[in-house]
Structure 1
């Protein structure tokens, strides 16, 4: 009988699929994964080369995007609405951001609904992603920092933990 590794046991117990997560053929990083727009403008192409047609242009620096595929220097990405295509890797950053999906999202001083509210963020605000627990993420935006419910954010996986 073959021994079972600790990683597999933890993945099964936590219901996490990270153990068997697919890896990108170019970077060997997990796919899908979240990144952000490094540039303030980036062409989104129909395929992974400069010869492919530009379908549209992303025009929001720091916007969170999900990488769904890799090919050479190109990454297939999608935004919160599912719109996407291929962008050159030089337009992307590993800095993690999230998009606020709730109107007037409370940022708490601690990950607790009863904790003091330090700020409120409007729907559509892009915030820097810091720590995450199972249900909460610490964000910073506009000089404010606090904890928000993970379910009210796009750009972080529901089971993702960050230190």
Structure 2
């Protein structure tokens, strides 16, 4: 009887723990974006740790490289790394224009395609499909193709 009770308790405990464990099993690294008007990057995985940076750019792409109990260790475009609460992040893919000088946003994925807009470094847009060195980017409804080499947040994390 005691053995049956222990088996029942063990099975019940596993059923409760399994969903939480699966939530921590995301394939790493992966891309995410800041999904809050204000997000804190901390030195450790918890509110008791000091804040190193306060981000006010909703949509900024980040690369998630580790996870611990509701916290994500992220890298942002300039290489800064720290811990961010998971509720401040979205799996929505965005990208930021990097490099020196402006980059062309084209109507099609080719250097010869008509120019739609010029984008400055630091512009953030929602990322679409990428193929053959080009990515679709939507910057506040302005859509076009940008060279993938000028985007941080595109490609494999």
Partner of 1:9: none
Q: Displacement, 1:25?
A: 7.0
CA distance in 2, matches of 1:27, 1:104: 39
- Secondary structure of the residue aligned to 1:151 is helix
The gaps in structure 2 that reach 5 residues or longer are: 1-20
Q: What's the TM-score once normalised by structure 1's chain length?
A: 0.77
Distance in structure 1 (CA, Å) of the matches to 2:79 and 2:121:
18
C-alpha deviation, 1:101, in angstroms: 1.0
Say whether 1:48 aligns with 2:45. Answer: yes
1:97 aligns with 2:75: no
Deviates more, 1:24-33 or 1:66-75: 24-33
For 1:111, which of 109, 112, 117 is the aligned residue? 109
Pick the aligned partner of 1:58 from 55, 79, 85.
55
User: Distance between the aligned counterparts of 2:47 and 2:22, measured in 1?
Assistant: 20
**DSSP-derived class of the 2:72 partner:** strand
Q: CA deviation at 1:130?
A: 0.6
Paired position in structure 2 for 1:125: 123
Tell me the residue number matched to 2:74: 77
Structure 1, gaps ≥5 residues long: 1-23
Provide the secondary structure at the position in 1 that maps to 2:62: strand
Structure 1 residue 117: Cα displacement: 0.9
Give 1:43 deviation, angstroms: 1.2
Q: Residues 25 and 70 of structure 1 are in contact (CA less than 8 Å); yes or no, is this contact kept in structure 2?
A: no
Compute the RMSD of aligned alpha carbons. Answer: 1.8
Normalising to structure 2: TM-score of the pair? Answer: 0.80
Q: CA deviation at 1:30?
A: 2.2
Q: In 2, are the aligned partners of 1:45 and 1:54 still within 8 Å (CA)?
A: yes
Q: Give the Cα–Cα distance (whole angstroms) in 1 for the partners of residues 140 and 69 of structure 2.
A: 36
